[in-house]
Amino acid sequence: MAKIRGSIVVNIEKCKGCELCMVSCPTGTIAMAKEVNGKGYNYAYPANPELCIGCANCAMVCPDGVITVYKTKI
Amino acid sequence: MIEATGIKEIIKPENLVYRKTKIMTDNILSYCPGCGHGTTHRILAEVIDEEDLQSQTIGVSPVGCSVLLYNYIDVDIQEAAHGRAPAVATAIKRLLPDKFVFTYQGDGDLAAIGTAETIHACNRGENILIIFINNGIYGMTGGQMAPTTLPGMKSSTSPYGRDVKTMGYPLKMTDIVATLPGTYYVTRQSVNTPANVKKTKKAIRKAVQYQKLDKGTCFIEIVSNCPSGWKMTPVQSNKWMEENMFPYYPLGDLKIPEK
Ligand SMILES: Cc1ncc(C[n+]2csc(CCOP(=O)(O)OP(=O)(O)O)c2C)c(N)n1
Ligand code: SF4
Ligand code: SF4
Ligand code: SF4
Ligand SMILES: [Mg+2]
């Protein structure tokens, strides 16, 4: 059976580390980095990229329009 | 652009499902982390993009945190004096009836200093869209009490919580304008979850269609958070909003077109 796989791209420098994407992700793909960006925020990143299903929940709730989402069937 | 990327093989143009619309400029939003203003701007810009209205839109921005709206949404925007956006939008729409005209206002702007303009524009049934961001506080100026602040809610000017005996009750502007014959579509939404973001976007899209049909005032309240003014993390603020704001300001349509 075809499996849906997704992938996100986070524009690290624009992320404000609000964590809203992380709590909206149904698969636990996203975590907050231990490192900070140029503004001093712990940015979001796909810590478990293989779990992403490309549902775009994270991008829907991101106030700063930081996340781009891709999806495919494999 | 410095990026954190997921699985590289999936990142191809043909697999794209979501990317920030170009109607949102690349400027970094001045809003605090997690603030609903950003999300609301984004979906408004998405509707303008999807309806191909960039050159046909004139927005009117308020005084409040979203005063710099013109920096973020790449359409014509007129800044209005505090609370006067519906009056300015009235003039713009009457002079340029083919444009899509909206105001974007906070609760201090719309429900305090601008109460008269709000009510009279709605009562005249001006053919504009009013977007009302209700975060129950004056965010920009340091978290003072607004007419919309909940009973018992602390703010910098109600440090012991709003006492309704001396400070009055939270004003439900959306309920008030829904009673006026001039309003056509009145709804209360939020942008706290993916599902609610989609619903709010749908409401904005409906308002665009109604304005094309010259139906009168459309009014969309968005119950929103102010993590900084409420002194909470963004995630806590959304939870607090769901538990405290939503019971007082229930989400849903207050007035929909008669069939
Ligand atoms: C005539 C006038 N009175 C008062 C102010 C101060 N002031 C600036 S923004 C604001 C209230 C903003 O609150 P709100 O409309 O709720 O917007 P938010 O920042 O919460 O989005 C006030 C009272 C002003 N700029 N002009
Ligand atoms: S697209 Fe969906 S599954 Fe993938 S990171 Fe975003 S919310 Fe999680
Ligand atoms: S929602 Fe956006 S700004 Fe907030 S942490 Fe996630 S990517 Fe960063
Ligand atoms: S003060 Fe409140 S309303 Fe203003 S940007 Fe910050 S969180 Fe948003
Ligand atoms: Mg406010």
B6-26 pLDDT, tens digit each: 999 999 999 999 999 999 999
Lining residues, ligand 4, CB within 6 Å: B 31-32, 35, 37, 65, 135, 139-140, 226-229
Whether residue A1 has pLDDT greater than 80: no
Ligand 3 neighbourhood includes A14 CB (under 6 angstroms): no
Q: What pLDDT, on the 0 to 100 scale, is given for residue B145?
A: 98
Q: State whether A20 and B24 contact (CB < 8 Å).
A: no
Measured from the alpha carbon of residue A8, the closest ligand is: 2
B128: which 2 tokens? 């504009």
Q: What pLDDT, on the 0 to 100 scale, is given for residue A2?
A: 81
Mean pLDDT of B179-207: 98
Ligand 2 neighbourhood includes A25 CB (under 6 angstroms): yes
Whether residue B259 has pLDDT greater than 80: no
Q: What pLDDT, on the 0 to 100 scale, is given for residue B16?
A: 98
Domains assigned to chain A:
4-73 (3.30.70.20)
Mean pLDDT of B87-107: 98
Contact B45, B37 (CB under 8 A): no
Digit-coded pLDDT (tens) for A6-65: 999 999 999 999 999 999 999 999 999 999 999 999 999 999 999 999 999 999 999 999
pTM of the model: 0.98
User: What percentage of residues in chain B have a pLDDT greater than 70?
Assistant: 100
Query: What are the domain boundaries of chain B?
Result: 31-255
The mean of the pLDDT values for chain B is 98
Q: What pLDDT, on the 0 to 100 scale, is given for residue B37?
A: 98
Whether residue B75 has pLDDT greater than 80: yes
Per-residue confidence band for B81, with pLDDT thresholds at 50, 70 and 90 = very high
Residue B34 makes CB contacts below 8 A (sequence gap 6+) with A16, A18, A19, A20, A63, B225, B227, B233, B234, B235, B237, B238
Digit-coded pLDDT (tens) for B42-70: 999 999 999 999 999 999 999 999 999 99
Residue in B29, B33, B197 closest to A17 by CB: B33
Per-residue confidence band for B258, with pLDDT thresholds at 50, 70 and 90 = confident
Residue in A5, A64, A69 closest to B18 by CB: A69
Mean pLDDT of B210-231: 98
Decide if the complex's ipTM is over 0.90: yes
Q: Which CATH number does B31-255 carry?
A: 3.40.50.970
